[in-house]
Each structure stands twice: as C-alpha cells, then as structure tokens.
Amino acid sequence: MQQAAAPKISFVSLGCPKALVDSERIITRLRAEGYELARKHDGADLVIVNTCGFLDSAKQESLAAIGEAMAANGKVIVTGCMGAEPEQIEAAYPGVLSITGPQQYESVLDAVHRARPALHNPHLDLVPPQGVRLTPRHYAYLKISEGCNNRCSFCIIPKLRGDLASRPAADVLREAEKLVAAGVKELLVISQDTSAYGVDLKYAESPWKDRSVRAKFLDLANELGELGAWVRLHYVYPYPHVDEVIGLMADGKVLPYLDIPFQHASPDVLKLMKRPAAQDKTLDRIKRWREICPDLSLRSTFIVGFPGETERDFEFLLDWLDEAEIDRLGAFKYEPVAGAPSNALEDQIPDEVKQERWNRLMARQQAISARRLKRKVGTRQQVIIDEIGPTVAKGRSKADAPEIDGAVYLSSRRPLRIGEIVTAKIDRADAYDLHGTVAGF
Ligand code: SF4
C-alpha cells in the first residue's frame, strides 16, 4: 500500500532569539505530529510566519514576509509579536488563515490542524528528546522566562508579552541537561531581563537531582555551570546581585561574558528611557568586576538620538564608553515604535543628527574594540569552531556570542570539526576579529 505523503510546512522565523525559541517549540510539536518542513513556500501545504513587531522596520519586514508567502503559496498562518496587534496584517492580507500572538503555540497548532490535518503514522512520531532546534547542533538558546516587569519608555514588549513569568529552575535545568546530552557545547541563556529571573516565583525552590534549587539568577547560573557546557548570560541588567555572578565567572563556571543592554550612560536620558537599574555607580562596578575577573568581556547595546538627548548627553556617553571599555557594542538609531510612551516625548531628534551621532559612536567603539583585542595577541584562547572553510576555520572565543560578536579565524594542521573546542594561539587582531593558529586540541 502506498503511504500518503506527510504534510509539508514552510516556516519563516523572524526577530530575536526569543522568537527563535518560539519557532523551535512550534516546529518540535509539528514534527512530533508527523509534519515535515519544506524548503520553499512553493509546493508546501502551508506557510507559517513567526513575525517580529519590535520596531516599525521589523513590522515592515514581517509584512513583506507574509506578502511573499501569500503570493507563493496562499495558505498562510501568522504568529509572533506582530500578531498581538493583528489589525495591520488583516488589512494588508485579509486572506491569512489565522493570526496569533507570541507563545500561543496551541493556537498555531490548532490553525495548522484545521488547514491540513496531520497524518496518523506512528513511525513519524519520532522527535529527538531535546526537540528540533534551528541553531547549529553545538549551541542552543535557553529561555528562562517570558515577559518583563520593567516599563522602558521606548519598548512595547511588556504589552506584547506580559509581565515576567519565570520557568521553575528544575524545568530549565532539565532542558539544559537534555541539550548537553544531545551534543550542545554552549548554552545561551536568554529572557527579557535575565537578572530578574525568579522574582515572580518569589525564588521558589524546585527539586533537581538530590537537592532543591532556588529560581534565582545566581543559583541557576551555578547549576548550569555544572553541566559541562559553556554558559553565556544575555540580557543581564546590572542589579546589585549581579556582582555575585562575577565570582562564578572567575571560577570558570560560567563564561566571563556579560551582555548588559545599557542603552545609554547619561543619567538624564536613562531617566527619560525609564531604564531598570540605571544608576551612576556603574563605572565603579565594572572596574571591580574586572578586578575580580580580568578576562571579563562586556557586550552592550545603545540607542542614539533618543528624544531629548542633547549633544552633552551624547558626549557623556562617548566618554563613558572610553572609561567602561565595552568590548562589544551594538548601536541603534532611535526609532519610534507604535504604542511606546517615548513617542510622546518632546525634543525628537532629526534623522541627520541621529545618523551623525551613530557614526561617531561606531568610530569610537571601533577604536576601543581594536585596543581591547590587541591585548589578546600572543595569548592562548579557547575557541569553539562554527564553520570550516577551505583554508581557515571560523570560530568564537569565550568573549564572542554567536551572530552578534566578532570571530576568531584559525589555521590548523589537522582538520577541525564544527562544535569542537580547541586552544588557539592568537597571532594578530583587527578592529573586531582575531586571527590565530590552533595550538592544542
Ligand atoms: S527591560 Fe525594558 S527594553 Fe527590555 S523588554 Fe523590558 S521593558 Fe522592554
């Protein structure tokens, strides 16, 4: 008897790593039910578009992706952040089958079942226990909470995703352990506000192995550090208790890397932004962190041209950067987001001023980055291999997160494998990347 073909779904995942995790969960469920993934919209039974609604430019990108899917296929299900405000999508594409907001996995699956029921084939019910991941096999994002209790004036994420909802520590640890057992070498801890983890649970304990673990940033980081993989902490706000985690970095339990989205340095702008943990002692703390853990790399993002940012505020930021020596930096020109309170602020900054400040910020950062990287020439660094090229391999040191930071380009006497961690001697540095030779396997 000829077997019916499994329904094929083409999947588009847009937006941040948090949206990527949502996509992975949906795909895992679909694969468990016997659906297959298609490479192209054309010929697939359905298209799912996981949208991003963070900035207006991201919304445009999402609408364009929906338009492409409608033109190439016609059966389209939309989910994700932009789906939380469906009016714009409905107006542009009234034929879309279903629109849901972020984390509404069940509704997405219901819509898929309605449009194209799954095959009942027990042989297809085979999904690896760690789920299906969209990142390469050797690293994985680990989402520890959803939502956010802060109310930054430029951001609508709490409106889209609600208040902070943390996962119990044992739940996170079980997922992390499965990932490591499946070959993951690096866990990237993400959330909207990682250092606030567990506040909503009142730091409740949950049973893990022979002990109980509190849903607390430090306790979770400590336990993750026991699993034998690199642990990288993203979206950490500098609340006072972050100081404690630096000790874990100095002990080699978690990577000496902190991704702190400072967004600005000027106290006046931070106040207008309503940023959490905005306080003037940050420079002193960074200094202390580097005394405790000299290898610490700091990554941050900044917004230039926020309403009310004066030339003095901006220069304050440039000077602050010089002092803080932020290793890795992403900069954005302020963009009003529909529904964000900052739209109503006075003194919006003209586009040409935003551009000019952005250029100056990037030039300053390039000099800082080059200076910081130069100090690494002659040292030995552990490098995780991401790509193999014909002559050199591309990897990352402990100071580089995938996708957003720099790279280490390596030559090697013997072939390298993706996901392998090697020791490299650093021969030279440029503005953002390092170059070296493999010195140990
Ligand atoms: S911390 Fe601020 S910017 Fe980040 S998600 Fe929460 S409200 Fe938005």
Ligand 1 centroid, distance to 99 Cα (angstroms): 24
Q: What is the pLDDT of residues 291-309, one digit of tens each?
A: 999 999 999 999 999 999 9
Reduced to 3 states, what is the DSSP secondary structure of residue 334? coil
Give the pLDDT band of residue 118 (cuts 50, 70, 90).
confident
Does residue 327 line the site of ligand 1, with CB under 6 A? no
Nearest ligand 1 atom to alpha carbon 161: 5
Residue-wise pLDDT for 40-84, tens only, equals: 999 899 999 999 887 888 888 999 999 999 999 999 999 998 888
| CATH of the domain spanning 139-374 | 3.80.30.20
Cα–ligand 1 centroid distance for 4 (angstroms): 47
CA 60 to ligand 1 centroid distance, Å: 21
Give the Å distance between the CA of 275 and the centre of ligand 1: 8
pTM summary value: 0.78
Residue 318, pLDDT score: 96
Pocket test for ligand 1, best of 150, 260, 334 (most atoms within 8 A of CB): 150
Range scoring the smallest mean pLDDT among 98-102, 170-174, 283-287: 98-102
Which CATH code fits 8-124?
A: 3.40.50.12160
Nearest CA to ligand 1 atom 1: 150
**How much distance in Å is there from the Cα of 350 to the middle of ligand 1?**
24
Q: How many residues are listed for the chain in this entry?
A: 441
- Asked whether 162 lines ligand 1 (CB < 6 A), one says no
Lay out the sheet containing 36-37: strands in order across.
Answer: 36-37, 8-13, 46-51, 76-80, 98-99
Its sign, for the CA torsion 209, 212, 214, 219, is: negative
C-beta 150 within 6 A of ligand 1:
yes
Put residue 348 in one of left, alpha, beta given phi > 0 → left and psi -120 to 50 → alpha. beta
DSSP 317: H
With a 6 Å cutoff on the Cβ, whether 30 touches ligand 1 is no
pLDDT confidence bin for 119, thresholds 50/70/90: low
Question: Would the CA dihedral through 428, 400, 335, 22 be positive or negative?
Answer: positive
Q: Does the C-beta of 160 come closer than 6 Å to ligand 1? A: no
Give the closest residue to 306 by CA, choosing from 333, 279, 329, 330: 333
Distance CA 189, CA 99 (A): 28
- Report the alpha-carbon distance of residue 249 to residue 256 in Å, rounded: 5
Question: Which of 145, 146, 192, 236 maximizes ligand 1 atoms within 8 Å of its Cβ, making it the mutation to test the pocket?
Answer: 192
Residue 3: band (very low, low, confident or very high) from pLDDT cuts 50, 70, 90: very low
> How many angstroms separate the CA atoms of 305 and 320, rounded?
17
In angstroms, what is the span from residue 158 Cα to ligand 1's centroid? 7
d(CA 313, CA 320): 10
52 is an annotated ligand-binding site residue: yes
- C-beta pairs of 362-369 under 8 Å, 24+ apart in sequence: 362/331, 364/318, 364/321, 364/322, 365/321, 365/326, 365/329, 365/331, 366/431, 366/432, 368/321, 368/322, 368/325, 368/326, 368/327, 369/327, 369/328, 369/329, 369/406, 369/431, 369/432
> Domain map of the chain by residue range?
8-124, 139-374, 380-440
- Tell me whether residue 293 is annotated as binding: no
CB atoms within 10 A of CB 88: 14
In 334-429, DSSP assigns E strands to 380-388, 393-397, 408-411, 421-429
Whether the CB of 277 sits within 6 Å of ligand 1: no
Residues linked to residue 429 through DSSP beta bridges, in sequence order: 434
Tell me if 152 CB under 6 Å of ligand 1: yes
Q: For residue 123, name the pLDDT band (cuts at 50, 70, 90).
A: very low
CATH architecture of residue range(s) 380-440: Beta Barrel (2.40)
**284: Cβ–Cβ under 8 A, 6 or more apart, which residues?**
none
How many CA within 13 A on the CB side of residue 340?
A: 24
Give yes or no for residue 164 having a pLDDT over 50: yes
pLDDT score of 315 more than 90:
yes
